[in-house]
Amino acid sequence: MWALTKDILGFTFDGDNKTLWLESPKREALLTTLKQWLRQSRRKRGGIPFEEFQSTISKLRHAFVSIPSGKGLLSPCNTILRLQPQSVYLHRNKHLQQAMADCRTLLRESTTAPTKCAELVAAWPDFVGVKDASGHGVGGVIVGENKACVPTVFRFEWPDDIKREIVSDSNPNGKITNSDLECAGLLMLWLVMEDVCDITSGTHVALFSDNSPTVSWVERLACRSSLVAGQLIRALALRLKTMGASPLTTLHVPGVQNAMTDIPSRSFGIPAKWYCESDDALLTLYNSHFPLPNQRSWTVYQVSSKISTRILSVLRMKLISLEEWRRLPSRGKHTGVVGSPTSDLWEWTLTYRMPRSNNASEASPALRQSFDKGISIAAEVKSELRRSVALLQPLARRVPWPME
C-alpha cells in the first residue's frame, strides 16, 4: 500500500511522479539485443534469424505499452514480418536499420524521461484539427474545444516535382499516392498545432481527415502498404513523444462533409472561384464562407519553408534522423491581425459540414433542410467522437481508492 515504486505486469510504476517504464531486466535484455543487431549491421556481416527477429519485435510491442508513440517506429518491421524471410539483414534495409536505432534510443531514455501516465489516456479533445489534401496542396483549420486557441486556417501548395509524382489515371507510374499526400497533410496539421495550441503533457487532440487509410494509419501508428506513409507516421510518432500528448483521437470525415477544408486545400487556382493570390485574399474568402460567432475573425497561418522542406523530404524518400525530428526549426507564424483565442468552437464548425450555397434567392425550405441536415451530421459526429474516446478510457476500479 505504501510502496511508491512497484513492478506490475512487467512495468515499473512511480506512484509519486505518476510515471511508468519497462522493468529493468526486460529493458536491459532488449537494449543488448538491439545493440548486437546494429553492431552486426555496421560490419555488414550475417543476418538475424527470422525467429529471433519476430520474438524481439513482439517484446518491443509489449515495451511500447509504456511508450505509445514507439509503435510508430515499427512500420518497416511489419513489412519484414509479413514477408517472413529466413534471415533479416539490417544493412540492406536503411529504413529498418533506422527503426531499430530509434527503438533503442527510446528504450534507453525511458528511465531518465519516463512516460507520464496522463499520456496514456485519451479524453474529450482540448483542440481539434481538420485537414484536406488534394493534388494541388493541403489546407486545414484548427479550433479550440476544452481549451482556447486562435481559430486558424492554413494552406500549402505542393511543389511541381511532387505534383509530377502523384499517381493518377494519366500518371500510373507515379511514386506518391493520394493517401501519402493526405498523411503528409496530417503531419503538417500537427506541426502547425504544436505552434498554435498550448500542447503540454497529457493534452488531448482530435485530428479529422477525409482519407480512410490515413485515419487507420494514425490510429494504429503503423502502415503496411506505403513506405512513404510509414516514414510520415514515424515522424508524427516522434513529435507526439516529444510533446507528451495523449493518444490522438482520429476520425474519418466523408469528403462531402469536409467543406471547411476544401477552400484552403484548393485555393491555388482550381477551381477558379476559390483562387486566392495572397493570404489576405484567403482570409477574406474564408471569413465570408465561414464567419465565426460573435464577429470574431479567422487568422491565417503561414508554414515556414524549413518545416515544409522537412515534410517534402519524406515524400522524396530522404532519411531524416530522430534528432532532426526532435529539434525542429521555426514552424511558421500567423499573418496579419491575430484573432482572439477562443474555445468551444468545434460543435459550431459541425454546422458547416455540408457545402453552403451562395445563392441568395434559394428557397427558404431548402435552406431549412440544409441546416437540419447539418445539425444531424453534427450529432452523428459528436456521438462517434464520444464512442472513440470511451474506448480509450481506463476501466473503473472495483474498489475505489480512498479520497484522502
Kindly state the percentage of the chain with pLDDT values over 70: 89
pLDDT tens for 248-274 read 988 888 877 778 888 999 999 778 888
Domain map of the chain by residue range? 5-119, 121-352
Q: Average per-residue pLDDT in the chain?
A: 87
Q: Does residue 354 have a pLDDT over 60?
A: no
pLDDT tens for 54-72 read 999 999 999 999 999 999 9
CB neighbours of 166 closer than 8 A, spacing ≥ 6? Answer: 135, 174, 176, 177, 178, 181
Q: Does residue 367 have a pLDDT over 70?
A: no
| Short-list 218, 219, 243, CA closest to 232 | 218
pLDDT value of residue 78: 92
pLDDT value of residue 399: 61
Q: Kindly give the interhelix angle for 75-83 and 227-243, rounded to the nearest 10 degrees.
A: 140
Q: Does residue 157 have a pLDDT over 90?
A: yes
Kindly state the percentage of the chain with pLDDT values over 90: 67
Higher pLDDT among residues 302 and 355, named by residue: 302
Higher pLDDT among residues 242 and 372, named by residue: 242
Q: Does residue 366 have a pLDDT over 70?
A: no
Set of cell numbers at residue 142: 484548427
Q: Does residue 307 have a pLDDT over 90?
A: yes
pLDDT value of residue 397: 63
Q: Is the dihedral of CA 116, 117, 120, 122 positive or negative?
A: negative
Split at pLDDT 50, 70, 90, the class of 350 is: confident
Q: Are strands 137-144 and 152-157 parallel, antiparallel or unpaired?
A: antiparallel
Q: Does residue 244 have a pLDDT over 80?
A: yes
Least confident range of 48-52, 121-125, 196-200? 121-125
pLDDT value of residue 378: 56
pLDDT value of residue 376: 52
Tell whether pTM > 0.75: yes
Thinking of the domain 121-352, which architecture would CATH place it in?
2-Layer Sandwich (3.30)
Higher pLDDT among residues 346 and 265, named by residue: 265
pLDDT tens for 227-240 read 999 999 999 999 99
pLDDT value of residue 1: 61
pLDDT tens for 85-143 read 999 999 999 999 999 999 999 999 999 999 999 898 888 899 999 999 999 999 999 99
Q: Does residue 404 have a pLDDT over 80?
A: no
pLDDT value of residue 121: 85
